Amino acid sequence: MLNSPGIAANLALIRRKMAEAALKTGRNPEEIKLIAVSKTFPAQAVRAAIASGQTCFGENRVQEAKAKYHDLRREFPSLELHLIGPLQTNKAMDAVRLFDVIQTLDRPKLAAAVAAAIGKEGKTPRLYAEINTGKEPQKAGVAPEELCGFLRLCREEHGLKIEGLMCIPPEAEDPEPHFRLLKRLADENGLARISMGMSADFETAIACGATEVRLGTAVFGKRGQAAA
């Protein structure tokens, strides 16, 4: 059974750690948003987080989010939902309809599909480009040296406004150089939002300039188990 008090305690601890990490580097804690990653967790877990004041959530898959948040968004219209997983072009329409932020724009074909969906839906989610900071061949994302060209294509060919960057550093590497690279790329391209840092490294990400951190396990507990 879901341990709602555990989720509340987890959120309180995370918020305190986020504030401490921000203050250590002279940043305003209110500038940093916590995205609670609810992928694979049931709507009951999301409700427990909402009861503790959490309103921003992240999901990896369009279909899972569509099923889980159909009723939740009607009940809690102030929820903000971020797509933080890979997006297939044939899911672009559903993604534009459902999400407030799509963080994983990473290739010209997807940019074209998202632009077409925005044109048909008349709804404009906020958009981030995903950067493959480690240049891992198995991982999605724009190569750092190709970012300027990709942003130009999004803006000039498709009329898309890109306002942020996100990354997932290589699992076996120190994340700090990757976070600093993403911050530099954002600054060089005039992008205000920087989504980086997960449960194991969010304090480092904040020290490096993250404006959003994406935490799942730290909020909800290990997947397949109740939060303790």
Q: Which pLDDT tens digit goes with each residue over 178-197?
A: 999 999 999 999 999 999 99
DSSP for 71-101 reads HHHHH-TT-EEEE-S---GGGHHHHHHH-SE
Residue for token pair 């290990």 = 222
* pLDDT mean across residues, the chain: 95
Q: Is residue 151 part of a domain?
A: yes
Mean pLDDT along residues 108-119: 98
Reported as a single tens digit per residue, the pLDDT across 62-106 is: 999 999 999 999 999 999 999 999 999 999 999 999 999 999 999
**Predicted local distance difference test score (pLDDT) of residue 227:** 44
Confidence band, pLDDT 50/70/90 cuts, at residue 228: very low
User: In this structure, what DSSP letter does residue 153 have?
Assistant: I
Alpha-carbon distances, residue 72 vs 78, 144, 151, 188 (angstroms):
10, 37, 34, 38
Q: Is residue 67 part of a domain?
A: yes
**Predicted local distance difference test score (pLDDT) of residue 3:** 58
Q: Is residue 127 part of a domain?
A: yes
Q: Is residue 158 part of a domain?
A: yes
Reported pTM: 0.94
**Predicted local distance difference test score (pLDDT) of residue 222:** 86
Q: Is residue 228 part of a domain?
A: no
Q: Is residue 226 part of a domain?
A: no
Q: What is the CATH number of the domain that holds 132?
A: 3.20.20.10
**Predicted local distance difference test score (pLDDT) of residue 114:** 98
Reported as a single tens digit per residue, the pLDDT across 20-63 is: 999 999 999 999 999 999 999 999 999 999 999 999 999 999 99
Domain holding 164, by residue range, is 4-220
Nearest alpha-carbon partner for 228 in 2, 50, 15: 2
Number of domains in the chain: 1
Q: Is residue 165 part of a domain?
A: yes
Residue 27, class by beta-carbon neighbours within 10 Å (0-12 exposed, 13-18 middle, 19+ buried)? middle
**Predicted local distance difference test score (pLDDT) of residue 204:** 98
**Predicted local distance difference test score (pLDDT) of residue 2:** 54
Q: Is residue 162 part of a domain?
A: yes
**Position 132, amino acid:** N
